Chains A and B, each alone.
Chain A
């Protein structure tokens, strides 16, 4: 094995076999699953027991039922049964004392003024959750709408419901014929986020590795055997491969989770046709027919993965070279803070732009950023699922590669001097001097 390969292998193996790496990699899908589950659980858990008294002062949405001896909604389906939301109806409000003594959590007062300004007063002792408020608002709106349809248009509500039309835009790129831009931009954002984290985490690994070798004084022995450039390259490639290993592991894990989860859902029989619940579907057909998830199958995954790896390789080299130079110029990690800030600014700028670009991946800032080498690895990925011309991709990637090459050359000059410097606080001016002097 030649020396460069030896260094790469050492950097790689000592990291991938660490318990923290293995557990961390396995935990990503588990944590993602837990995150989704926790979100769903919180949404339900947030809604506490609500018992609402709807006081219909103008008799618009309720009637007196003799047999049940109670006020009931004219439109029962407007007030669907929910686990944590129960309605009672009345034609007169309770006094404050009566309300406080009762088991109602809210008392909503409705009169015909609602037809003008669309507001109803809600009295409570403890404010209901936003989820509960939204549900009550939706239910009351449906009931008032029914009243308006009948009273003002003299139309049958069922007829009205049939006439009522909802329009949603189904996007399609005129050239690529691809649709569902929002879903795709979310996929792009997930890739961008992952890229941001990988560059950041493994860039820091490079910096720490350099600081360790410098602080432990191992570096003097190593560079008496290999050139500083070889050591730097070996370190960056080795640690970069740790990142690639993690990506591959996560891809395989993700694929397995997708397959196993899909089969489990198929077996459980919950995957049914949207138009006919009696028709059971296989996982892929169900995904394709699902409005929310169908776009996942439309994304060009091989292109995404290949581009993600290419941008990771180039982007990582670029930033890792910077981080290595910083590591070589300091004695310990805490000294690196003031040098880290300028190096990390473009990364954070790219991340913030990516967050904003979810809504509009083809916006000017994201498009320009996808050609700026320091931000391109993150911002091109958010554009990629929506379709990017090949020349744009090539131009952007070449820019990143050229910058990475330049950074490695500059970094190597700082590195070879910095790693042997001890007991001296290095200034930015000194770094520039190291770079200028061959």
Chain B
């Protein structure tokens, strides 16, 4: 029997007055991986995340959670770190963590034990008795992250989890997220604008724009599918010699000194669709000293920009 997806989102519609926030959005989030929810500002991501958390309800469509229609009864199995997040300033850190943990359904003793582990793991253990107003923004961010994973949810929704962190702490949080993925008990829905993180961590993505799903699939497949005949070529010769040798055999998009190998140049070029790359490499190597030639796969950033810019028509 095939495993039910962690989330099966189908035909979701949502209007706020005259504004159509989501227009028939549907996709599946498989279990036990990291799924990226991408989209420019105002694409409808936050509205969708709020629906998953029972904060707002769709006007139409359905959401299944591990094979069951999503209800409030599932909320204890969901962890949520919203993009706009905060803590009570006049409460002590530990007391506040216990409060949220208990709201998530943990009993006090268990919550205390788990908090001890996580506070130690993310190096906030010295802050238990401090008031939130005394801790730094980064420290508060870590506490908020802990509160979203503490109850070991089946689905963890992280909205821009790395924003506000310095590179060291961002890396630490990234490691924790990858570790949760590796354990396989948690499905992670990651909403972010950081395309580096998407490439590094996400298995699959869905891209929303103007309330519609414009792209959905596995990251390597999307990158492969987005290939447009470009190649990255390195050579040991002058740019002039390379340009002359190239002639009309390929379109030179750009050429720059290779920052990693002195004396070498790095060129981006596009071969005509009918060209055979092996033949072309043999031919050009007779004229200039070619050191490498690799097919260029666009990054998620390029895919994102291209997809958003291609969807120009207004949504009713």
Binding site for B on A (CB under 8 A): 1, 3, 6-7, 10, 14, 18, 212, 215-218, 220-227, 420, 422
| A220 pairs with B84, CB closer than 8 A | yes
| A218 pairs with B87, CB closer than 8 A | yes
B85 at the interface (CB under 8 A from A): yes
- Sorted from nearest, which 6 A-B pairs have the closest CB atoms? A216-B86, A224-B53, A217-B84, A217-B86, A220-B82, A218-B86
B91 at the interface (CB under 8 A from A): yes
B147 at the interface (CB under 8 A from A): yes
Task: Identify which of B53, B82, B99 contacts A217 (C-beta below 8 A).
Answer: B82
Q: Of A212, A223, A225, which is in contact with the most chain B CB atoms at under 10 Å from its CB?
A: A225
Interface residues of B in 19-50 (CB under 8 A from A): 50
Task: Identify which of B72, B87, B99 contacts A216 (C-beta below 8 A).
Answer: B87
Task: Identify which of B54, B88, B90 contacts A224 (C-beta below 8 A).
Answer: B54
Pull 5 A–B residue pairs with CB atoms less than 8 Å apart, ordered by A: A14-B91, A215-B86, A216-B88, A220-B55, A221-B100
| B80 pairs with A1, CB closer than 8 A | no
B64 at the interface (CB under 8 A from A): no
| A221 pairs with B147, CB closer than 8 A | yes
Knowing A14-B91, A222-B103, A225-B75, the reply to whether A420 touches B80 (Cβ < 8 A) is no
Residues of B in contact, count (CB < 8 Å): 26
Q: Which residues of A contact B144 (CB under 8 A)?
A: 221
| B86 pairs with A223, CB closer than 8 A | no
Task: Identify which of A1, A220, A227 contacts B102 (C-beta below 8 A).
Answer: A1
| B87 pairs with A226, CB closer than 8 A | no
How many angstroms from the CA of A348 to the CA of B72 in the assembled complex? 42
How many angstroms from the CA of A394 to the CA of B144 in the assembled complex? 49
Q: Of A18, A212, A224, A420, which is in contact with the most chain B CB atoms at under 10 Å from its CB?
A: A224
From residue A238, how far is it (CB to closest CB) to chain B in Å? 12
| A224 pairs with B55, CB closer than 8 A | yes
Interface residues of B in 124-141 (CB under 8 A from A): none
Q: Which residues of B contact A14 (CB under 8 A)?
A: 88, 90-91
Q: Which residues of A contact B103 (CB under 8 A)?
A: 3, 6-7, 222, 225-226
- Residue of B with least CB distance to A215: B86
Contact with A along B101-124 (1 / 0, CB 8 A): 011100000000000000000000
B177 at the interface (CB under 8 A from A): no
- Residue of B with least CB distance to A420: B55
Q: Which residues of B contact A7 (CB under 8 A)?
A: 103
Binding site for A on B (CB under 8 A): 50, 53-56, 72, 75-76, 78, 80, 82, 84-91, 99-100, 102-104, 144, 147
Task: Identify which of B55, B84, B90 contacts A223 (C-beta below 8 A).
Answer: B55
Q: Which residues of B contact A226 (CB under 8 A)?
A: 103
A-B pair number, CB within 8 angstroms: 60
From residue B134, how far is it (CB to closest CB) to chain A in Å? 15
Q: Which residues of B contact A1 (CB under 8 A)?
A: 102
Q: Which residues of B contact A6 (CB under 8 A)?
A: 99, 102-103
| B89 pairs with A216, CB closer than 8 A | yes
How many angstroms from the CA of A217 to the CA of B85 in the assembled complex? 5
Q: Of B78, B80, B102, B103, which is in contact with the most chain A CB atoms at under 10 Å from its CB?
A: B103
How many angstroms from the CA of A420 to the CA of B89 in the assembled complex? 19
How many angstroms from the CA of A221 to the CA of B144 in the assembled complex? 10
Q: Which residues of A contact B75 (CB under 8 A)?
A: 224-225
Q: Which residues of A contact B80 (CB under 8 A)?
A: 220-221, 224
- Residue of A with least CB distance to B90: A14
How many angstroms from the CA of A3 to the CA of B56 in the assembled complex? 20
Q: Which residues of A contact B84 (CB under 8 A)?
A: 217, 220, 422
From residue B183, how far is it (CB to closest CB) to chain A in Å? 23
From residue A271, how far is it (CB to closest CB) to chain B in Å? 48
Extra contacts besides A217-B85, A221-B144 (20): CB < 8 Å: A3-B103, A10-B91, A14-B88, A18-B90, A212-B88, A216-B86, A216-B88, A216-B89, A217-B82, A217-B84, A218-B86, A220-B55, A221-B80, A221-B82, A222-B103, A224-B55, A224-B80, A225-B103, A227-B72, A420-B50
- Residue of A with least CB distance to B132: A216
- Residue of B with least CB distance to A7: B103
| A218 pairs with B55, CB closer than 8 A | no
From residue A420, how far is it (CB to closest CB) to chain B in Å? 7
How many angstroms from the CA of A218 to the CA of B100 in the assembled complex? 11
From residue A175, how far is it (CB to closest CB) to chain B in Å? 52
How many angstroms from the CA of A226 to the CA of B76 in the assembled complex? 10
Q: Which residues of B contact A10 (CB under 8 A)?
A: 91, 99
From residue B264, how far is it (CB to closest CB) to chain A in Å? 50
Q: Which residues of A contact B72 (CB under 8 A)?
A: 227
Q: Of A18, A217, A222, A227, which is in contact with the most chain B CB atoms at under 10 Å from its CB?
A: A217
How many angstroms from the CA of A122 to the CA of B90 in the assembled complex? 64
How many angstroms from the CA of A217 to the CA of B144 in the assembled complex? 12
From residue B94, how far is it (CB to closest CB) to chain A in Å? 14
Q: Which residues of A contact B82 (CB under 8 A)?
A: 217, 220-221, 224
From residue B62, how far is it (CB to closest CB) to chain A in Å? 20
From residue B302, how far is it (CB to closest CB) to chain A in Å? 31
- Residue of B with least CB distance to A219: B86
- Residue of A with least CB distance to B86: A216
From residue A211, how far is it (CB to closest CB) to chain B in Å? 12
- Residue of A with least CB distance to B87: A218
From residue B107, how far is it (CB to closest CB) to chain A in Å? 9
Knowing A6-B99, A225-B103, the reply to whether A220 touches B90 (Cβ < 8 A) is no
Q: Which residues of A contact B104 (CB under 8 A)?
A: 225
How many angstroms from the CA of A215 to the CA of B87 in the assembled complex? 10
Q: Which residues of B contact A422 (CB under 8 A)?
A: 84
How many angstroms from the CA of A1 to the CA of B108 in the assembled complex? 9
How many angstroms from the CA of A224 to the CA of B80 in the assembled complex? 8
How many angstroms from the CA of A221 to the CA of B85 in the assembled complex? 7
Q: Which residues of A contact B99 (CB under 8 A)?
A: 6, 10
- Residue of B with least CB distance to A3: B103
How many angstroms from the CA of A1 to the CA of B105 in the assembled complex? 9
From residue A191, how far is it (CB to closest CB) to chain B in Å? 32
How many angstroms from the CA of A226 to the CA of B72 in the assembled complex? 9
How many angstroms from the CA of A217 to the CA of B84 in the assembled complex? 6
How many angstroms from the CA of A220 to the CA of B86 in the assembled complex? 9
| A220 pairs with B85, CB closer than 8 A | yes
Q: Which residues of A contact B87 (CB under 8 A)?
A: 216, 218
- Residue of B with least CB distance to A430: B17
From residue B96, how far is it (CB to closest CB) to chain A in Å? 9
Knowing A3-B103, A224-B75, A225-B103, the reply to whether A218 touches B147 (Cβ < 8 A) is no
Q: Which residues of B contact A216 (CB under 8 A)?
A: 86-89
